[in-house]
Amino acid sequence: MGKGARIVLPEGTEERTLRAADEVIALNLAHILLIGNKEIIGKQAQLLGLKHIAKAEIIDPIENPLKMQLAVELVELRKSKGLQLNEALRLLEDPLYLGVMLIKAGIADGEVAGANNATGDVLRPAFQIVKTQPGFSAVSGAFIMVMKDKQYGDNGVMIFADCAVNPDPTVQELAEIAVASAQTAKAIAGIEPRVAMLSFSTKGSARHAKADKVIEATRMALQMSPDLLIDGELQADAAIVAMVGQKKAPGSPIAGKANVLVFPSLETGNIAYKLVQRLAGAEAIGPVLQGMAAPINDLSRGCSVDDIVNLVAITANQANALKMNSITNEKVII
Ligand code: ACO
């Protein structure tokens, strides 16, 4: 589990975040770093009757003894974009920039934010500063879908991606989304990935440039990760229904039993996960951001305390999985 990972919560004065931090500490899921004014956090914690917050490390974005050191580092990272020291000092008063700089400086291992901030505002500093893992050019967002109907995926557990970030992925990005989603399946959902690259066509049933893009991305994903169990292009029914898979894609290693669904665009992925969540009553956990050099995950602004606790636990697991990968010097290979 995620024990020992240091997770920074930039929205440290926000009520749900504080309650979640208290629970994470009580359950020993991760070390917590809260960004915010010490006095305000202390008063809030007292008011809410939180018993464990005293064990969190609090970093004030204004009175921050690390500010100058981090600003110099930030200028170095963004000098190609013309960033000056005074602007860097100002950016570091923004908890979302400070959070990712704490990761960059090795003070935190991961971040969870978004209870009070829009997706783009959480992602932009992460993309600019933490950047992608070696072997990846694009970050993407996966959902762990827990179906009521246990015949799908692995006992009802499936991964859907990209549902959160790349509006119109290139072939290369689509291939990366497949490889990254397989990593997420293994490291976070604990299932052996069987990846379907989805389309409106199965094995040439329709001829269109959009289907060709999916075929090309499947080929590229296999080059990136030769042992990956993957196939495409496949329609959704051929991917998840055994009888349809056998008929439309005979001999496929995964047709009819896929547990990782890679969608051809953000429109399709985002719409699909929301429909499955609402119409089929599936639980949608995420988005889990994948392909980033360190785990940073975005909350919905409508999130509950439990959502935050779950995402902190997932982020801590991702941090530990990344550490293991770098210790064993594994690449992106599944
Ligand atoms: N992976 C890695 N880096 C990226 C990515 C990506 N997918 N996209 C942009 N970047 C980097 C750029 O390279 C750039 O880095 P640089 O400054 O070092 O050159 C930096 O991020 C900013 O790039 P912009 O192109 O200016 O990015 P912008 O700020 O316009 O957009 C964003 C990035 C916000 C993530 C955009 O892609 C977006 O809005 N995506 C959709 C998010 C969304 O609304 N999702 C649906 C809701 S979420 C849900 O329902 C679960």
In the predicted structure, residue 330 carries a pLDDT above the cut 50: no
Alpha helices by DSSP H, 196-241? 209-224, 236-240
Q: Is the pLDDT of residue 215 over 80?
A: yes
Looking at residue 334, its pLDDT comes to 41
**What's the sign of the alpha-carbon dihedral 64, 69, 70, 74?**
positive
291: left (phi over 0), alpha (psi -120 to 50) or beta: left
Q: How many angstroms does the Cα of residue 162 sit away from the middle of ligand 1? A: 13
pLDDT at 4: 86
User: What rounded mean pLDDT belongs to the chain?
Assistant: 94
Q: Is the CB of 10 under 6 A from ligand 1?
A: no
Region 180-194: mean pLDDT is: 94
Predicted pLDDT at 45: 96
In whole angstroms, what is the distance from residue 177 CA to residue 139 CA? 8
What atom of ligand 1 comes closest to residue 132's alpha carbon? Answer: 2
CA distance readout (Å), 64 to 95, 246, 304, 307: 11, 61, 30, 29
211: phi then psi, degrees, rounded to nearest 5: -70, -40
Mean pLDDT of 131-160: 95
pLDDT of residue 90: 97
Q: Sketch the domain layout of the chain as residue ranges.
A: 6-131+293-328, 140-284
By most ligand atoms within 8 Å of CB, the mutation choice from 81, 128, 165, 278 for ligand 1 is 165
pLDDT confidence bin for 333, thresholds 50/70/90: very low
Mean of the pLDDT values across residues 287-302? 92
Cα separation, 169 vs 158, whole angstroms: 21
Q: Looking at residue 326, what is its pLDDT?
A: 63
pLDDT at 323: 78
All residues at 6 or more sequence positions from 105 whose CB lies less than 8 Å from its CB, including other chains: 66, 69, 70, 73
Q: SS3 for 8?
A: strand
H or E stretch covering 312: helix 305-327
Q: What is this structure's pTM?
A: 0.87
Over residues 297-313, the mean pLDDT reads 92
3 state DSSP class of 163: coil
CATH fold for the domain made of 6-131+293-328: Rossmann fold (3.40.50)
Atom of ligand 1 nearest to the CA of 118: 44
* Strand ordering across the sheet containing 140-146: 230-234, 195-198, 260-262, 157-161, 140-146, 283-290
| CATH number for the domain whose boundaries are 140-284 | 3.40.50.10750
Residue 329 has pLDDT above 50, yes or no: no
Please identify which residue in the block is written with the tokens 């989304």.
Answer: 177
Give nearest CA residue, ligand 1 atom 2: 138
DSSP 8-state code for residue 138: -
Q: Is the CB of 120 under 6 A from ligand 1?
A: yes
Distance CA 44, CA 102 (A): 24
Taking 90 as the threshold, does the pLDDT of residue 17 lie above it?
Answer: yes
Q: Which helix (H) or strand (E) holds 275?
A: helix 266-279
Q: What is the per-residue pLDDT for 327?
A: 52
* pLDDT of residue 247 exceeding 80: yes
125 C-alpha vs ligand 1 centroid, how far in Å? 10
Within a 13 Å sphere around the CA of 164, how many CA atoms are in the beta-carbon half? 28
